[in-house]
Homo-oligomer: A and B are copies of this chain.
C-alpha cells in the first residue's frame, strides 16, 4: 500500500541500507547506484516516513516556535524571521526542517502543554517568544521543562523574553525598560507632566518592564505619579480604546497617553478622536514596537522600534547552531525611539 524504503530498495536492486544512505547523503554511495536509487524513489513517488526515521535516528527535524498570539503582527514578524532562518523549505538543501508555530494565546497552561508536546516530538530546537507570565509556580514549571528539553539535546532560545537562569536556554531580551523610559523622557522633554499610561496585562514581564521604564523616566525628572494615571488592559486595540476613556474620566487634564504597544495606542487614538481631542495638539500619544501600520496612523505614531525581524533571525540562527550564543547566554536587544507626528508639546 504505502511505499516503504524496502520497496525502493527492491526496485533499485540494492539494500535498504543503501537507499537510506542515498537519501541522507552522509555516506559514500557510488554515483551510478545513487542514480538508480533516485530513479526508483521518483518512480515510486516515495516519501520518507518521518516518524520512523526520527525514531531510528533519535533526532527530529521539528523546530518549535511558541508565540502568544499568532494573529498579532508583533509575533508574526518574529515567527516569520525565525522560520526563515530555520532553513525550512527555502533554506539550504538537506536541512529541511519543519517549523512548528504554536499559539499559546498567552495561557500558561497551553505554553506548558506545547512544550510537552514538543518534547514528545523530540524537537530539534524550541524558540519561545514574547513576555513570560510572572506567576512563580508557572515560571518554575516552565524552567523545569526548558531544562529537561535542553538536557535532551533540544536547543532552547528565548526571543524577546527575560532569561531563564539554570535552564541552559539562550536569551535575547528586549530592553523594554530602557525603551519605555526613553519614550517617557521624550514626552517630558516636550513639556508633558501629566501622562497617562495604558499598561498590558498585570502578570507579564513585558508589561512590568515597560511600566517600570515609564516610571523611571518620571522619577528621573521629579514627577510624582498619580496612581489614577495607570490603567491595565490587554495588548489589543479594544483595550486601548476602553482604557483611554477610563483615563479621560479619571483625569481629563492629561496631556499625553503612553500605550503598552502600538495596537493599544491605535485604540487610544480612536478614543481621543471620538472625544474630540486632537492629536497631538491636545493630547500626545505614543506606542511601542513600531509595527508596520504605526507609520500609517494619522498622525503617524511616536513609538519605540523593536528590531523584531533581526532578533527573530538571530534567534533562529542560534537555534540552528549557525550562530554562536552571546556571552553568558544572554543578549539585550535595544529599541530605538521613533519620534513622529503623534507626539508634540502640550497645549498651553
Query: What is A's interface to B at a CB cutoff of 8 Å?
Result: 2, 45, 47-52, 54-55, 60-61, 69-73, 75-77, 79-80, 83-84, 88-90, 96, 98-105, 107, 109-110, 112-114, 116-122, 148, 152, 237, 263, 266-267, 269-270, 273, 292-293, 295-298
Contacts and interface: CB of A to CB of B under 8 A. Distances in A.
Contacts of A113: 88-90, 96
Contacts of A90: 105, 107, 109-110, 113
Q: Main SS of the interface on chain A?
A: helix
Contacts of A100: 98-101
Contacts of A49: 55, 120, 122
**Protomer copies:** 2
A148 B273 CA distance: 55
B76 A71 contact: yes
A60 B51 contact: yes
A114 B89 CA distance: 7
Given A55-B49, A70-B101, A122-B49, A96 B77 contact: no
8 contacts: A47-B116, A50-B122, A51-B52, A70-B70, A71-B76, A89-B104, A96-B117, A297-B298
Contact of A121 (B51, B75, B107, B263): B51
A286 to B, nearest CB: 16
A297 to B, nearest CB: 7
Contacts of A121: 50-51, 98
Contacts of A72: 73, 76
Contacts of A79: 70-71, 101, 103
A16 to B, nearest CB: 16
Contacts of A55: 49, 51-52, 55
A298 B98 CA distance: 40
A11 B267 CA distance: 57
B71 A266 contact: no
A18 B113 CA distance: 24
